[in-house]
Chain A
Amino acid sequence: MPSLKDLKTRITSVKSTQKITKAKQMVAAAKLRRAEERATEARPYTERMEAVLANLASSAEGNPNAPKLLAGTGEDKTHLLIVATADKGLCGGFNSSIVRLAREEIVRLQGEGKKVKLVCVGRKGYEQLKRLYSELVVWRTDFTEVRQIGFGEANEIASKVLELFEADEFDVATLFYGKFKNVVSQVPTPQQIIPAVAPEGVEPPDLKGAVYEYEPDEADILKVLLPRYVAVQIFRALLENVASEQAASMTAMDNATRNAGEMIDKLNLQYNRARQAQITTELIEIIAGAEAL
């Protein structure tokens, strides 16, 4: 039976934990709103870009000189997995579920006798993956220094990935990130970015019989467009990741706050019981003492 003082200390400590989790939950809620806004603001660009690419890709199809970024290297031996996670914890299973998905993919690819290389974006993913696969990690980055993820950061990752691709370091690149479905559900998702997959469901615009003119020519435009497309995909994934992270963090902190509340209730009950028991004992002692006189 813990003493009254012990119980009191525990209640105070759980109370301050609850304050922290509550504050973190509110911060996450505010950040989530911003992150969602940013993800929505970036959407028109991605959509237009996809439409343009779908358009160009259909005309480049079957062309033997199609750029490698679109047609692939013709091989499927080395896979690059880009695992994008958050830099911070306190967001429930968000990071772990992305890492788990990536790990399953690594096991599957290695089982098929393929080579796997890793690029880690975000501190948490790297920390979890390096334990098992530190020799596979070719590059890593995180945004602990960056306050708000902008296109610049996405571009930096994209140029590194493209550099590796140019150097024939890999054949297929897949990006892993937490897709933001809604506040309560974030789905870890793999997405192939190299060779570029033309998005489905995007209708090329009706040209009413006319054909596109290209300036300079088609191949030149594709040469510029495809690396941009990779960067845009990464950018979108990063933005979704931020939104997902905040949503996951909000839910996790909400649970933690509630748990702390339950614990405080329980401890309070215990404390009151102990206090009453003490009073009763004291009373008995006094009465017994008085009777003895």
Chain B
Amino acid sequence: MAEKLNFSLVSPERELMSAEVDQVDIPGAEGWMGILPNHAPLMTTLAPGMVRIVSGSDEKRIFVRGGFAEISPAGLTLLAEEAMPAEELDAVKIAERIKHAEEDVADADTDDKKLAAQQSLDRLKELQAAL
């Protein structure tokens, strides 16, 4: 195998993952991104969604809600506002998040905020449909 990507996923409460992997797909705020080793430096905000981590033949899914991704030559770091492994995620938890997101859309006082809230709501609904 060629070079590996140094990947770490941290939420405020704990470090969920720190490993050398082959590829990570992240839900960027403006679209999905597949990150391979030696990616150009990049910083982006995250939308809610599943992060897919590929390492060899292994594949792992972790749900994140909001946060940042930073890619530097040192590797990829996800600073998630909230993160949990896909296995822990169920319909009830998603429904709860959707309810919050709907409230956010209703509360948004500026167009910018409304747009951002709407986008994360859409992503969550997508996820619910996929589950």
Residues of A within 8 A of B (CB): 38, 41-42, 44-45, 48-49, 51-52, 55-56, 150-151, 154, 205-208, 210-216, 220-221, 224-225, 228, 231-232, 235
Contacts and interface: CB of A to CB of B under 8 A. Distances in A.
Given A44-B8, A211-B41, A212-B41, A49 B13 contact: no
B13 A42 contact: yes
Contacts of A215: 28-30, 42-45
Contacts of A48: 8, 10, 70, 77, 79
B68 A207 contact: no
Nearest to B11: A45
B40 interface: yes
A56 B45 CA distance: 13
Contacts of A45: 10-13, 15, 79
Nearest to B42: A213
21 contacts: A42-B13, A44-B8, A44-B15, A44-B18, A45-B11, A48-B77, A51-B70, A52-B43, A52-B70, A52-B77, A150-B13, A151-B11, A151-B12, A205-B73, A208-B73, A211-B41, A213-B42, A214-B42, A215-B28, A215-B44, A216-B30
A244 B29 CA distance: 39
A207 B12 contact: no
A51 B30 CA distance: 23
A206 B10 CA distance: 21
B68 A225 contact: yes
A220 B68 CA distance: 12
Nearest to A236: B12
A213 B42 CA distance: 4
Interface in B50-73: 68, 70, 72-73
Contacts of A150: 13
